[in-house]
Amino acid sequence: MYQKSKFPFGYIEDLKCRVLELPYQGRDLNMVILLPDGIEDKATGLKKIEEQLTLEKLHE
């Protein structure tokens, strides 16, 4: 799959992660990719995002 375009990209300060939104299935759905800034301790950054993620934070 290849697509060259501009996609919504942002940063959620509370979660300390980058957010990328990609169209999926003919633009009826979107895939959201969350990339944590880093690993702070034995818990991964992704685990912390999962614990703190809310719909409101995604809409920021």
pLDDT digit string (tens) for 25-57?
A: 777 888 889 888 876 666 667 777 888 888 887
Who contacts 23 (Cβ-Cβ below 8 Å, separation ≥6)? 3, 7, 29, 30, 31
Rg over CA atoms, the chain: 13
Higher pLDDT, 10 or 59: 10
Rounded Cα distance between 6 and 48, Å, is 28
pTM comes to 0.67
pLDDT in the model for residue 9:
92
Complete domains list, the chain, with CATH: 9-58 (2.30.39.10)
**Residues 34, 49 contacting (CB under 8 angstroms):** yes
Q: Determine the average pLDDT of the residues in 16-31.
A: 84
**Residues 15, 55 contacting (CB under 8 angstroms):** no
